[in-house]
């Protein structure tokens, strides 16, 4: 997050919004900065558009991966083909990482309470214990 965005969130919190849910969008501004959407409606126009763009970018990444594998598997591929395949793969990787970050930020917080007393405890594999 940028400092400007942190300031905006602080202002919204002071204005009475206790939790602000921002969705990282799969595109950037003209200046190359991240774009965010603040909405409680995941079915709104911009949310649906962002979903469609993410789907398109994911499909394109699959195609780029297949083409890059073909170029790498062809011993006759030259410098230009390799460079083109790498450039497209780099673009697709950037898109996919942005999608992953956006989706990760939208995951709900785990509904887990630390064990205080009583009940069975389970180890989640990290050495932390929670009520079962």
pLDDT bucket at 117, cuts 50 / 70 / 90: low
Residue 67 has pLDDT above 80, yes or no: yes
Rg of the chain on CA atoms, in Å? 21
Residue 123 has pLDDT above 80, yes or no: no
Enter the tokens of residue 107.
């995951």
Q: What is the pTM of this model?
A: 0.67
Q: What is the pLDDT of residue 40?
A: 80
For residue 131, the SS3 value is strand
C-alpha distances in angstroms, 72 versus 4, 32, 85, 91, 106?
43, 31, 9, 17, 36
Residue 119 has pLDDT above 90, yes or no: no
Residue 98: partners with Cβ closer than 8 Å, 6 or more residues away: 24, 26
Kindly state the average pLDDT of the residues 84-97. Answer: 97
Residue 14 has pLDDT above 50, yes or no: no
């Amino acid at each position: 997050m940028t400092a400007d965005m942190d300031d905006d969130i602080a202002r919204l919190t002071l204005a009475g919004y206790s939790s602000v849910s921002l969705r990282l969008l799969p595109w950037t501004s003209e200046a190359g900065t991240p774009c965010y959407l603040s909405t409680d409606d995941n079915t709104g126009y911009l949310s649906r558009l962002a979903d469609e763009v993410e789907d398109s970018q994911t499909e394109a990444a699959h195609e780029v991966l297949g083409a890059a594998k073909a170029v790498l598997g062809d011993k006759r591929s030259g410098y230009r083909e390799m460079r083109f395949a790498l450039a497209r793969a780099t673009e697709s990787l950037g898109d996919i990482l942005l999608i992953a970050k956006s989706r990760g930020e939208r995951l709900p917080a785990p509904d887990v309470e630390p064990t205080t007393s009583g009940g069975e405890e389970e180890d989640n594999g990290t050495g932390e214990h929670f009520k079962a």
